[in-house]
Amino acid sequence: MSDTTPRVGAVRRRRLAVALAAGVVALAIGAAPATARTGSWRAVVPEGLSEAVLYDISSAEGATWTAGIDVTDWSPLALRWNGSGWTRTPQPVEHGRFDDIAAGAGGEAWAVGSQGGGDGGDAPIVERWDGGAWQLEDVPLPAGARGGFHAVAVSPQGTVWAGGGLFNDGTDGLQSPLLMTRSSDGTWRSVEIPAEAAVGSTINVLPLADDDVWLLGVKGVAHFDGTAWTRQRLPSQLDDTTFYLYDIEEREQGELWAVGLAQDDELWRRPVVLRLDRGRWKEVPTPKETAELRGITFDDHKRPMIVGETVDPAVDPDSNYTLTLDDGGRLVRGERPPGAGHLIGADTDETGRIWTSGTVDHPEKPGSYLPYAAVRD
């Protein structure tokens, strides 16, 4: 991560550039069924937090978690949905932030980020919810390691994958890659990626299985087949454009979607959606307007819900931005969650409900932010 202080506008979870190339092709992803249930959004904003940012949200086995930072005292924040509201859970570290959270099997959950006071002095942390409390994991890192974990996910086999970056000792402030796994016996191991497959510091990780792991990094996309890592070959049409990818999810077996933004001379930032189908990455056309995409999930009809933010008041005066498929199979702006601002995380629970989290500009304190969450039933 290029900085460790939270900001939207000035608060950003992952300001990590991924230079991607993708060929624009005709959209042939299949229209969502005309009878598909879309539901309606309702805000479920956490109470008792005067300034906070919720960077991610995750559901599994009936549990839904959201995590981020309480800006009032610069402390990591993990909230669990109790069926009618959010319950804040005590933390074993005093100062820090969570960049990502993953609900797991058997009541477990995993949260990653950094602890410390910011300004590059942060140390990476991993915490495990054991069903009753958060426990700080003893992850073997270099002595005095500075930086943070930015992503965490659990494979179907129970392997925990945590990735991020470490600041180097040079003057450029760049980060060295950081990727760790935790096996079912509790052992943490460092994952070494060969130079020919390296994609830099980790932005996100998607372990579909222990032998099918996808990695978003600052220099591209890599895949692990259980034996070797392979850097993905991406179409060359956008080679000279800088991309920022933040999230990756599987729609169906063999079909992956990744979302983010591209720097654009006209729009400043335009929404970018990439799709892997039959082994090839392609770019999915998006509306030509200023926005950036932060999270993606799929409902129980495989219709994508993509969330993000915009700085163009003509697109949305409150910075909210969502995309989904229309009945013709085109990505279009979706229903706006009530009271939403900058949307960052998205996930779907076992019942098909879609959750999103983020933050809203404070109406009375310029430069300050209120926490936000919503669910689409």
Q: Which helix (H) or strand (E) holds 176?
A: strand 175-182
Gap between the Cα atoms of 131 and 135, Å rounded: 10
The predicted-structure confidence for 236-291, as pLDDT tens digits, reads as follows: 655 677 888 899 999 999 999 999 988 889 999 999 999 998 899 999 999 999 99
Residue range 97-121: average pLDDT?
87
Query: What is the pLDDT of the chain when averaged over all its residues?
Result: 87
Query: Is 304 in contact with 324 (CB distance < 8 Å)?
Result: yes
Of 192, 191, 194, 173, nearest in space to 182 by CA: 191
Residue 315, pLDDT above cutoff 50: yes
* Strands of the 280-284 sheet, one edge to the other: 23-24, 280-284, 268-277, 255-264, 243-252
Residue 64's pLDDT band (cuts 50, 70, 90): very high
User: Rg for the chain (alpha carbons), in Å?
Assistant: 19
DSSP 18: B
Which pLDDT score, from 0 to 100, does residue 142 have? 85
9: pLDDT confidence band, cut at 50, 70 and 90?
Answer: very low
Given a cut of 80, whether residue 118 has pLDDT beyond it is no
In angstroms, the Cα distances linking 51 to 73, 309, 370 are 9, 19, 5
- Say if CB 290 and CB 267 are below 8 A apart: yes
> Starting from the edge strand earliest in sequence, which strands make up the sheet with 175-182, in order?
147-154, 160-167, 175-182, 188-190
Tell me the mean pLDDT in the region 43-66.
96
Segment of 10-19, 113-122, 347-356, 363-372 carrying the highest mean pLDDT: 347-356
Of 160 and 278, the one with more pLDDT: 160
- pLDDT for res 344: 98
Per-residue pLDDT, 233: 83
Please report which confidence band the pLDDT of residue 172 belongs to, taking 50, 70 and 90 as the band edges.
low
| pLDDT over 90 (residue 119) | no
Q: Is the pLDDT of residue 99 over 90?
A: yes
At residue 235, the pLDDT reads: 63
Q: How far is CA 240 from CA 199, 253, 278, in A?
A: 17, 31, 25
Tracing tokens 């163009």 back to the chain, one arrives at 312
**Closest C-alpha among 256, 244, 221 to residue 309:** 244
Q: Are 51 and 64 in contact (CB under 8 A)?
A: no
For 120-157, how does the pLDDT look when each residue is reduced to its tens digit (9 = 90+)? 568 999 999 999 999 999 999 988 889 999 999 999 99
pLDDT (average), residues 286-298: 97
DSSP, residue by residue, 243-291: EEEEEEEEEETTEEEEEEEEEETTTEEEEEEEEEETTEEEEEP--SSS-
SS in 3 state form for 339-374?
CCCEEEEEEECCCCCEEEEEEEECCCCCCCEEEEEE
Structure tokens at 233: 């070959």
Sign of CA dihedral 354, 360, 363, 365: positive
Structural contact between residues 76 and 111, judged by C-beta atoms closer than 8 angstroms: yes
pLDDT value, residue 311:
95
Q: What's the CA gap between 126 and 331, in Å, rounded?
A: 36
Q: How many CB atoms lie within 10 A of CB 195?
A: 6
The pair of three-digit structure tokens given for residue 156, joined into one six-digit string: 């179907």
pLDDT at 13 over 90: no
Identify the pLDDT of residue 374.
98
Q: Please say if the pLDDT value at position 171 is more than 50.
A: yes
What tens digit of pLDDT does each residue of 14-50 get? 333 333 333 333 344 555 544 344 569 999 999 999 9
Q: How confident is the model at residue 208 (pLDDT cuts 50, 70, 90)?
A: very high
